[in-house]
Structure 1
Amino acid sequence: MTRNALHDDELPIDGDVVASLIHRERPEWEDLRLSPVGGGTDNVLFRLGDALLVRLPRTPGSVASLRKERTWLPRLAPSLPLRVPEPVHTGSPHDEYPLEWSVYRWIEGAPPAPDTVSDWARFGADLAGFASALHRTDLMGAERADELSWYRGGSLRETEQWMGPNFDDARPLVDADLDVDRLERWWRDALALPDSSAAQVWLHGDLRPGNLLAHSGRLHAVIDFGALSVGAPDAEHAAVWDYPLPACLAYWDALDLDEPTWLRARAWAIAVAISGIAYYCNTYPEFVAECRARLGAILAFGDR
């Protein structure tokens, strides 16, 4: 496998498996160089030649995400100001890998970081521009149902059903300078706010650094629309705490977010990070570090 399993029902995936799938379905590609390029919590990724990317779900539950992308990305892309994944092949299940898989056009770039982003305020404004364009895009008949009803587009109050134990689980796993009690208080304060009155919109669902690509110093592409859904926009804004303060402030200013929306977004950021630490503490240290950094940024930002 490309890394230790992240989920109990994860399938074994390596280069030999991918090469076999390519040989079966697209033999014209089998002489292209195949190399692993990592992956996230739901998929394993391989670069194929210079122009293609192979994406394979880690678990059966992630297959629906690829189907969503194949259905909706070609319809959404014309309305968006940044590059998004372009599906070029739908892979079928086989004995060596019993799930659907996908091939996309390769997009140049690297995750946003100090050495890939030249102006964080401009980055924050560009990210806000993408979110705004996505949220303005016509729903084209889509509704918040089935695979388009991911939890982050719902009411923050629904997190109360599963977040209590996560705070207790995360406390012994974080550094002493992370004030989990304060974070939990902010999350609970946000639960008391009324739900958003905003209209339901398209949501990317997970605008964390691993799902963005910078190129030539600027935000260039948004990838991995596996969490694509229809719902309230509060949780969409939660990712801004993954970026430096100038990006966070520029994003806030560009969208002119009101205080209740900002507080609900902060509570979503806390909930996702705390639950990520509790779930991946023994399997995905890079993601846990990202969650810890997000919580540290939230605390540093404070109540301003």
Structure 2
Amino acid sequence: MTLHEDEIPTDELLVRRLLAQQRPEWAELPVRAAGSGTDNRMFRLGDGLLVRLPRTPGTADAVRKEQVWLPRLAPELTCVVPEPVHRGRPGGGFPLPWSVYRWIEGAEAGPESVADWAAFGTELAAAVRALHAVPLPPEDERHGLQWYRGEELAACADSIGASFAQARALPGLGQDSGQDSGQGLDLDRDLDLDRLEAVWRAALALPAPSAPPVWLHGDLKPSNLLVRDGRLHALIDFGCLSIGFPDAEHAPLWDVPAAARHAYRAALGVDEQTWQRACGWAVAVAISGVPYYWESDPAFVAECVARLRAVLDDPAGL
């Protein structure tokens, strides 16, 4: 499935060409698709490795970032994180850097893998606390570690306003639309965009964050949280790794059940205004994803809509 206009096609044959050129000792291992995200495609290599290829030139820097920083961060963290074992170079018809990692066993966080969501929220808080406590590198080593989700909400005010306008024009999304979404999705036709925009604007009106910058994972959604034996085991996909304010780091907690969300907040001791700004970020990221992926990735749109529903059910006191 193509998600972006500048996306570079990838498949198992491409992976084999790259390996034959750069790691011939792995070239005969079985290769099979192992899922994809909005920025990368993944392929299982044998039993113990994972190949990760960026979809677009714009996500290539995220590959380099993981290659440089994950080995430095891993010893400081309480969870397993991906271990790069090969820094792939452009070649074989693929013009971007790519990576090979050790395979991490685990299941995506969800109702089939997590029995105690409150305990899971507490475990996730511990992992986030450890990441945020890692000492920051000197200023001259922070190239490529700035990202919009580590900035103030005001930095994306115009673009999120435009996303709300685009979302209102989508069939089947707004309140009482009375139209079919056309996507085969169980979209809530009573999704109250007016109330969601009010949540966003209330967060936008709060004072700017004053906490010092920290390391941020940047995308702690359930698909990036691996579970083993019911416990949080690994954080994966550090393509959004950055340094900034921690507000947006908490936004994906509206992707998990309320028990996990509330336990996470309590364990971290997140203050009221930070939590409200996090809720604003939850709305901002989800509403921007809906119109962008409306035609190309209905499943991702459904995830965004589910997050917006969760905000309406639990809007951080706004």
TM-score, normalisation: structure 1: 0.96
Equivalent-residue separation in structure 1 for 2:301 and 2:243 (angstroms): 27
Shift in CA distance, 144/31, structure 1 to aligned 2, threshold 3 Å: closer
> Is the contact between residue 63 and residue 98 of structure 2 (CA under 8 Å) also seen in structure 1?
yes
In the TM superposition, residue 302 of structure 1 has moved relative to its aligned partner by 3.6
Segments of 5+ residues of structure 1 without an aligned counterpart are: none
Q: Which one of 265, 272, 291 corresponds to residue 304 of structure 2?
A: 291
- 1:210 is matched with 223
Equivalent-residue separation in structure 1 for 2:209 and 2:72 (angstroms): 27
Post-superposition Cα deviations, 1:47-80, rounded to whole Å, max 9, x if no partner, equal: 0011100000111111110111111111111111
Equivalent-residue separation in structure 2 for 1:91 and 1:205 (angstroms): 24
Equivalent-residue separation in structure 2 for 1:9 and 1:283 (angstroms): 13
RMSD: 1.3
Q: Which one of 73, 77, 80 corresponds to residue 77 of structure 2?
A: 80
- 1:49 is matched with 46
Where 1:148 maps in the other structure, the secondary structure is: coil
Equivalent-residue separation in structure 1 for 2:88 and 2:190 (angstroms): 47
- 2:30 is matched with 33
Segments of 5+ residues of structure 2 without an aligned counterpart are: 174-187
Equivalent-residue separation in structure 1 for 2:125 and 2:291 (angstroms): 29
- 2:185 is matched with none
In the TM superposition, residue 195 of structure 1 has moved relative to its aligned partner by 0.8
- 2:208 is matched with 195
> Is the contact between residue 216 and residue 243 of structure 2 (CA under 8 Å) also seen in structure 1?
yes
Matches within 5 A, 1:271-282: 271-282=284-295
Alignment of 1:222 onto 2:222: no
> Is the contact between residue 42 and residue 51 of structure 2 (CA under 8 Å) also seen in structure 1?
yes
Shift in CA distance, 107/82, structure 1 to aligned 2, threshold 3 Å: same
Equivalent-residue separation in structure 2 for 1:154 and 1:302 (angstroms): 21
- 1:162 is matched with 159
> Is the contact between residue 125 and residue 250 of structure 1 (CA under 8 Å) also seen in structure 2?
yes
> Is the contact between residue 217 and residue 240 of structure 2 (CA under 8 Å) also seen in structure 1?
yes
Equivalent-residue separation in structure 2 for 1:142 and 1:291 (angstroms): 35
In the TM superposition, residue 230 of structure 1 has moved relative to its aligned partner by 0.5
Post-superposition Cα deviations, 1:213-232, rounded to whole Å, max 9, x if no partner, equal: 11111111001111110100
In the TM superposition, residue 95 of structure 1 has moved relative to its aligned partner by 4.1
Stretch deviating more after TM superposition (91-100 or 292-301): 91-100
Equivalent-residue separation in structure 1 for 2:143 and 2:316 (angstroms): 36
Alignment of 1:249 onto 2:262: yes
Equivalent-residue separation in structure 2 for 1:150 and 1:236 (angstroms): 12
In the TM superposition, residue 140 of structure 1 has moved relative to its aligned partner by 2.5
Alignment of 1:237 onto 2:242: no
